[in-house]
Chain A
């Protein structure tokens, strides 16, 4: 009998072990990755120094001199065999965050272009995007920065071939049925369709990271005037509700 393709274990450099649950983004594989990381964290394995998840994988960083890779991989295989991880529940303590967003205008200049790529009018695009309830599939690339999915099929639009040189902190960008909300000022190949006041990484706060994997996020539309008033009052307007 051949080994199933997934979950698949691979070393990452000298001190990492990656457990991949799929080779493309899917909801069950995303849940599996989150649940498996949670289980490893609860078991507090000797030699494991840090754990993390990407879209559909769990990453374990370990001390390769204290714990041989094979021993850790055996332990991981053993835990994998204990249940159907693809059927796992989402993490506990999830929340719904509603983040006020200005769509279009010079604050988010690529709305029209993105709407065209999705084959709809700008008004319909705003309706679609502001009505979508998305989930944080992973946090990564930059501190606190979420990847959010999954948008309706019409939003399976490619990344731009050229990079937008700079989008500001709080920019909401879209491509391949996902949003990214930017935590740093950065160049990007994704299209900038909305702007928020969200600050995803607040290093001096007791709770430095706004979002966690599994949280649900909506981006309701606000007028430019409301948005500017929030800025004037130093507010981000974000509502947080436990799920």
Chain B
């Protein structure tokens, strides 16, 4: 009997061994191995990003340019969405039945239990309607958030837009703080000032159950951070002027850029055809975007900063004259005959001095002045001499902001083209080209490409008599309203201030009695200085250019108007510039006949030369 009784020890030993093994195993899982703790955190604690309000943008007069409006996403939890009348749902959302089915499939593929977006960005009206019917659609609910909204239809190209961050951006370490589904500035001011506008996200740690359903805050929110709203901004844009410019350009193609010369503040930024920025906020964002992207008029092409393939035409004669004055090869009284054998011209008095040449835009005059500038006799060899001259000339030109990016505070700017010795050496061979090869530069044609922004900036240079401030769209960030120092740096040209006077006088004559008469505001006592230009266009009717600033005595606005296929700067672009200047300086428009003319688009029917 006793030996059987001893078996109790065997049994007790088994109990003990199991107990010890379990305690050791638990010690390993709970104390030694930390991976389970991390797994537990990712399991049950979800970080919820608190999206801050994006900063608002005001125009220079305090008018709201960009605001936040509530939008509503229709969410679906597939598991709970049972017995859904798909047809009714599709009708309610105004989408094709197949789309609705497709979205169901997508949501299910994403997760059976987690919510996904069924319909993005419902408007407030849609929301009200859908909310009423939602009771018949279990598993659907509305998630409110904010989207960008615009109380006007203007300035799309400069403002840009925000959209969901792309997969490519997510991989980029620059956007380390972003998560899939986040909205980010994709163009324009929204993109350039993203870091200020976005604000600071807050993080809330929430506990969720296995189905992702919210179970309250973690540790009573001890680790949560509040979101900080993005900073509001003041733009340099004058919304009234902007809207008026868009009104004038409606139906045309081209650009208007207006700058306050002393500050470089962009007053109007028009790229025609333009679009209503509200198109990019609603549920049809994707559709609208594709439509605009594909339209033949290239609406999404940001003309003021991207159209850099077109020569500036006659307005460039001003640049040539200024450089020639600075180099001392001409003086204000230099006279050249209008020798049409050199280059074609139109009838006008001859010979002319500098002012007259500007006023009448005499091609042979500038041919000769530019020849004097390029071939200064620094070398006996005419080829070498031309090359040296072009090199010097180019350095002067670049100080005007041509041939390089000006550094406007929105992305996408192009640099333009300014003829260089390298370019000609490449095309013709070294020492194989001379003045007769490049003379068309003298009248602003040939190997030149200037953006409308650079044209307007050039007018600011002339108005300031020798310097420009980098054109920009944002004046200040934040509540203090202090202008951003980096946006107000002056850039001086290589031309001394007094050389600008004869040019300015000539420009005043252009508007008073020359090709720019349609820009005249003499009626209201404003002296406008301007210059017309025509950019030769091998593909169709020439493009019309008009640059101007006013008032002559104390310039407040410098403007470049570029009308594609406008043929004559004086006919199409000049009146637009005049109207814009008057609108900006006086807040009214008295030259109604010009407005009527512009809106009639009759200039498009003028016979080309």
B is bound to A = no
- Using a CB–CB cutoff of 8 Å, the interface residues on chain A facing chain B are none
